[in-house]
Structure 1
């Protein structure tokens, strides 16, 4: 009996240690140690809070991207949706439209772009990589047609609160991030809609025969992806103080990396909300630390791309072993 208990305890301990979230927690500690050695001011509480404002804008898209990947799909148009939504918002305000209306149009436009992606791939049975590659080019192309190489800015002073504001000692963007994480966590793990997403990712044919409205679920998920891209556009534009057609370049790489590095399987059907949240802070703080020592952005792209390959390999090995 004692041997059985010992084996059970050993198996339980091993399963805990092999959880990817534990590895991410260790990596988060290592990143903070490295960053604190780079800058003696890094471990100051205020500086750590300030650091989150540099990467949390893109993190809002990670949550619906988790759902997209669990479905077995992908969306590489999110950076272009951010750019187009931001440009439209800036141009509308510049033309005399009130800022509140411009923000609302930005949100609606982002959702419509996501809806268009979902509608194309579900109604015409197209590959998501082909659809979103095409719309990635189209959306950013429209942004360039509208604004060319110009910038739109001179936003009202209160608009800067989205990117730089504090509620007490906590950044406003961090509060919004926490609320969004809770909402998407409940949606994915505690609702019938979330169970449908996992079911479709595991076996789309069985899901159809079980009465799951697969096309409807896909359209909703891609619409949410576009909606959160518009939210990112608001925070990013607020932080920059202006907008250009070339903003959010490479965002799709960072966002997909955060989701996959958090343990979401690219094959669909596997993943949760907790791993990607840890991955957001691991990658975000790593990039922040590299920025402290003036590492070029091109080098950061190489590092992020390497993390993406590594995370895909490790995730696939874990699921095969399971």
Structure 2
């Protein structure tokens, strides 16, 4: 029986290569090659480990954020969860608890934050934008309230060294290992399981997904829990990497995560996205930022460039979608009164 789905209307190579995700990957390669040739010190052996260390929290948080946005929702509280887990780790360590115990409690705090967000969105039915803006302020306020203007910096050296350690004799930081493991888990979850198909169905139409048997509320709850839990893990890494627990850690990171996810090809309206594009989007922003810093460009200018790139990526998606729809629109026909035959309108 012939396949009639639009996804199979084109050759495999076109479906694989002519996608927005592959365009982002190609752009990433071009930017890396250009930076290696034209940016002083970009080819320095220390550039790669610091680039990965800087982008590691965003890479981690972008994984579950992708699934959340594919459903048509959003979680803007992730950076505040990073700060709250950082403060939890610092307070408990300062009180005499070991780092592993404090880290487990920090992860549990992330789970609780995710359950609260997910319950309000999935079961109470509140808009995720409004809920997570509120919890962004709530979690950040709790974090700042616990420590005030103080910072906890007395962490055991073996744990702070582990956060920046390299794998064997390579230049790859140890944090790459959990990133690769989590990326593999989320790729399989989103693209190769019934749960992932349900995520896409919810993004296309929550009502249709519900009547098709997809547990919409439970799926959203799980995704918000995953988002906050991974954010808490990113907060633990962030704290140990810089050796400082503060209530304002990672302020503004949620915007970088959302920018990377949308740049990677995920539709803000839900129903579309792929994790390999998101990973490329995060690395693209990281490479551009790193290269510009090496050129002594200020942070404000870097933010302007990244913001312009994001706006252009969103506009290009809309323009390309409109162009494709125009090309695929069937030609209208009219019936000739004399001959009774259709003729082009």
Relative to the length of structure 2, the TM-score reads 0.86
Residue 77 of structure 2 corresponds to 77
Aligned pair count reads 315
135-144 or 296-305: bigger deviation: 296-305
- Contact 1:79/1:229 (<8 A) preserved: yes
Compare CA radii of gyration and give the structure with the larger one: 2
- Contact 2:147/2:247 (<8 A) preserved: yes
Deviations 1:175-201 (A, max 9, x none): 221111111101111111111101111
**1:130-209 correspondence to structure 2 within 5 Å:** 130-168=130-168, 169=170, 170-209=172-211
Quote the offset at 1:290 in angstroms.
Answer: 1.6
Deviations 1:268-289 (A, max 9, x none): 1101111011111111111111
Quote the offset at 1:48 in angstroms.
Answer: 2.1
- Contact 1:77/1:133 (<8 A) preserved: yes
- Contact 2:58/2:282 (<8 A) preserved: no
* Partner Cα distance (1:247, 1:287) in 2: 19
Equivalent position SS for 1:260 = helix
Quote the offset at 1:250 in angstroms.
Answer: 1.4
* Partner Cα distance (2:69, 2:268) in 1: 6
Q: 1:231 to 1:267 in 2, by over 3 A?
A: same
Equivalent position SS for 1:75 = coil
Choose from 227, 235, 238 the match for 1:236. 238
Is 2:2 the counterpart of 1:26?
no
Residue 65 of structure 1 corresponds to 65
Residue 6 of structure 2 corresponds to none
* Partner Cα distance (1:12, 1:112) in 2: 43
Equivalent position SS for 2:64 = helix
- Contact 1:32/1:285 (<8 A) preserved: yes
Is 2:159 the counterpart of 1:126?
no
Query: For structure 1, which runs of at least 5 residues remain unmatched after alignment?
Result: 1-9
Residue 7 of structure 1 corresponds to none
68-77 or 307-316: bigger deviation: 307-316
Equivalent position SS for 1:150 = coil
- Contact 2:22/2:277 (<8 A) preserved: no
Quote the offset at 1:228 in angstroms.
Answer: 0.7
Quote the offset at 1:294 in angstroms.
Answer: 2.9
* Partner Cα distance (2:209, 2:15) in 1: 30
Query: For structure 2, which runs of at least 5 residues remain unmatched after alignment?
Result: 1-9, 326-345
RMSD: 2.1
**1:1-322 correspondence to structure 2 within 5 Å:** 18-37=18-37, 39-45=39-45, 47-168=47-168, 169=170, 170-320=172-322, 321=324
- Contact 2:153/2:243 (<8 A) preserved: yes
- Contact 1:38/1:293 (<8 A) preserved: no
- Contact 1:71/1:197 (<8 A) preserved: yes
- Contact 2:70/2:267 (<8 A) preserved: yes
Equivalent position SS for 1:153 = coil
- Contact 1:70/1:271 (<8 A) preserved: yes
Higher helix share: 1
Q: 1:319 to 1:223 in 2, by over 3 A?
A: farther
